[in-house]
Structure formats: C-alpha cells, structure tokens
Structure 1
Amino acid sequence: MISPFWADVDTQSETPTPASAISFRQSTAASDLQQAKREVLYAFPDLVDINLTWSYIVTWNNVTFYRDDPSRQIRNTFQAILTTNGVHSFAIFYYNKIQWTTGTASNGNANGLGGTPAQIGFDFGDGGMYLNFR
C-alpha cells in the first residue's frame, strides 16, 4: 500500500456542488516522465541512465476533512505519482497546500487539527517492510 496522506478526506458532503476533486490519469508523455525522472534522480543520483516509461498520477485538489464545515475553506491539495522503467518503481509525493491533518472521525477538532493526524508512507504487506511518517 502507498499512502501520500492517509486521513479522513471528504469530497462528498459539499453543497451545492463539490469544490474539491480527486483526479487520476496514466501518462507516457515525455514531459511527465522527464519531471518524474528529475525527482527520481534527486533521490537516487546513481540512476542517471534510468529510462522511465510510464506514470500514474493521482491529484487530491482542495479536499476537506470528514465533517468539516465547507464554508470555512480548510483545504488540502496533494499528489502521488507512481512511475516505472519496467524494472524499478518509484512513488513521488507532492504537497501543494496542507491546512488540516485530522478529520473529526479521528478525534480532530473543528479546524482539522489534533487527534490522530494523517500519515504518509508505504507498506510492503509482509508485516515487516514499511515506512510511516506522521
């Protein structure tokens, strides 16, 4: 499992129409692959010859937390990119705007803070290999 922001994200309870969205797309566009390669090389400078061939991009745009009052406009925008060269795979997380960390279902307050905060990371699923940040 890969999680860029494991929290009580809510896009359903806004009226009259959602001001937030979750979008996703696959890409083999050279511009997307070059941007992903820059990020991979920043973290792994020895991979100078890597040739990324595919990316999957998911964007959470202006999402609020569960049971937030939509009129307050407490919003987060973040993105996850999965990319590969067919042999090695990478997860890239971008955080544009983070204004809340916790929904009320996780004991957060009305401003989206406190309680059990969002987590980021990955879990290999074997009970041993994982990385988790709060």
Structure 2
Amino acid sequence: MLLLLLVPANFLPFGNGDVVNPISDDGSSEAIYLQHPFKYFGRTYNQIYVNNNGHLTFTQPLSAYVPYLNSGIDIIAPLWTDLNNGNGGTISYREDTSSTVLAQVTQAVNQYFPNVPFTATSAFVATWDSVPYYSDEGLVTFQVVLVSNGDRSFILINYGDIAQTGQVWLAGYDTVDSDNSFTIPAASAPELSYSSNINVNGRWSFRVDGSANSLKSTPLPTENGQYVLCALIRSTFRTPTHVLLCLIMD
C-alpha cells in the first residue's frame, strides 16, 4: 500500500528519516545532542528537547501543558497547549544538513532578513502532525525550524491546520529572564494558520541569536487595495518584550 503524506506548502519535508517522540501524555523526547550548536539570545546550546505539549526547551524536558509568560526558561513554543499523542498523530524531529534543506532555509532567511548575510549550516526540524488536543476532538499540525550558521540563529514557525479549542494556549518564545520574548497576536488558535509577520500565510520568522530582529518593513498589499506595514519593535514597558506593530495605509 502506498501512503501519501500531504505536506503543507509552507512546511519543510518531514516524516522520512525523522525520530518519532514516544507516545506519552505530557511527555518529551530524550535529550537530543546537536551536531551544530544553536545560539539563543546570547546562550549557546548543544542539546534540545522536543516536548509533546508544543514547545522546545534546551536544558531540561518540560511537561507543563498550561502556558505561562515569564516562564524562567529559554523556550520556543510554536503552540503551547495540552496535546495528547496517545490519541493519534505524530511528533517527530531531525537535525538536517542536506544541501536541499539548507538551500531552502537559507533562501527563506535571506528573503526575510535581506540585510543580514547568512548561509545556513544546519536546520533542526520538529513537527507535530495531526496531534489531537487533550480535551477536544480537534487536531493540530505545526512545525518549528531552528536555522543556524553557528553564529546567527533564526526560527521559522509553520502552521498547517489548527482546530479551534477551548483550552488555554500560547504561541511565541521566551527567555530565562524574559528580556527577549514574543507572543504571536492571534485571537483564536485557527488564526495561526493564516497569520504571519513575513507575508507568508501560516509562517512566522524571528532572529534569535541576540541581535535585533531586523525584519524588513515592506508594505504588504491587502485585498481591498490598502497596505499593511509591520515592524517588530522592542518594548520595555513593565516586562521587556517584542511587539509586532502594524499600520494600515491607503
């Protein structure tokens, strides 16, 4: 029997050659030792954990399924909520250094950050494919890609179909001291599938090595003839964070 895996257009390939996470409620991968270290806001990590509840951590696994700000850890959370791979779906990962994938992520970073010279040497790809919520029947499909050349680091967060949920959820990233954090501004989980900060439906991208998130501020056309200009800026109001500021122009 031939099994066809439908990969969303904004995703990197996944499945073939990936390591699959154990089926475990609130579980995690074992420590994954990276062939190429990843710099995350000034700290360099040689290992990572893929946690079943929709996040990546570096120093230890995390079972928490209720998201919270100011978590006190370095965390990348494409969709932090209560997920249960015991009821279906697959959570998988790989570190990819193939020329095809490196060319693909290099092209993406060069497009989104045109003022930053960059050629990728590694891409860590983690994918949650059709994983159900713990308390709802809906399924979620999303992917996070850590892209690095050893000095500069970027993340791509890709969303496929995201079902509605009554559970608490959060998408974004945070650091130990929360000096660098960002929460994707979506009113509902399904909105993640077509939200973006780089004009690609269902994809978000950030520079995370510790330098400024110098996304190009290019006006994006809308269906009604207006333009939206978005920029990621740093805010120090109460808790330092990053805010996506968008202006609608005629």
Q: Is 1:119 matched with 2:170?
A: yes
Residue number in structure 2 paired with 1:46: 115
What TM-score results when the alignment is normalised by the length of structure 2? Answer: 0.42
Structure 2, unaligned runs of 5 or more: 1-74, 186-250
Aligned mates of 1:46, 1:99 — CA distance in 2: 36
Report the residue type matching 2:132 in the other structure.
Answer: T
Matched position secondary structure for 2:119: coil
How far apart, in 1, do the equivalents of 2:112 and 2:153 lie?
13
Distance (Å, rounded) in 2 between the aligned partners of 1:58 and 1:127 = 23
Question: What percentage of aligned pairs have identical amino acids?
Answer: 29
The secondary structure found in structure 2 opposite 1:127 is coil
Q: Any idea what the Cα deviations from partners look like across 1:9-65, whole Å, max 9, x if unmatched?
A: 1111x2xxx3x0000001001111112112212321112x41110111000000110
- In structure 1, the partner of 2:104 is 35
Aligned to 1:57: 125
Aligned counterpart for 1:87 among listed residues 151, 156, 171: 151
**Post-superposition, which runs of at least 4 consecutive aligned residues in structure 1 deviate over 3 A?**
none
Pairwise CA RMSD: 1.6
Q: Which amino acid aligns with 1:87?
A: D
| Residue aligned with 2:176, SS | coil
CA distance in 1, matches of 2:171, 2:112: 17
Q: Equivalents in 2 of 1:59, 1:127: separation in Å? A: 25
| Equivalent runs, 1:69-84 vs 2, <5 Å | 69=137, 74-84=138-148
Aligned to 2:83: 9
- Give the corresponding residue for 1:130: 181
1:91 is aligned with what amino acid?
A: I
Cα distance in 2 for residues equivalent to 1:62 and 1:32: 23
> Distance between the aligned counterparts of 2:127 and 2:173, measured in 1?
18
What does the per-residue CA deviation read over 1:63-99, in whole Å, with 9 as the maximum and x for residues that have no partner?
1101234xxxx21110000010010011110111111
Give the number of equivalent residue pairs.
111
Alignment partners' CA distance in 1, 2:159 and 2:111: 17
Distance 1:97 1:25 in 2: 22
With the length of structure 1 as denominator, give the TM-score of the two structures: 0.75
The CA distance in 2 between the partners of 1:25 and 1:9, in whole Å, is 20
- The one of the two structures with greater contact order (alpha-carbon pairs below 8 A, sep at least 6) is 1
Question: How far has the Cα of 1:4 moved from its partner?
Answer: 0.6
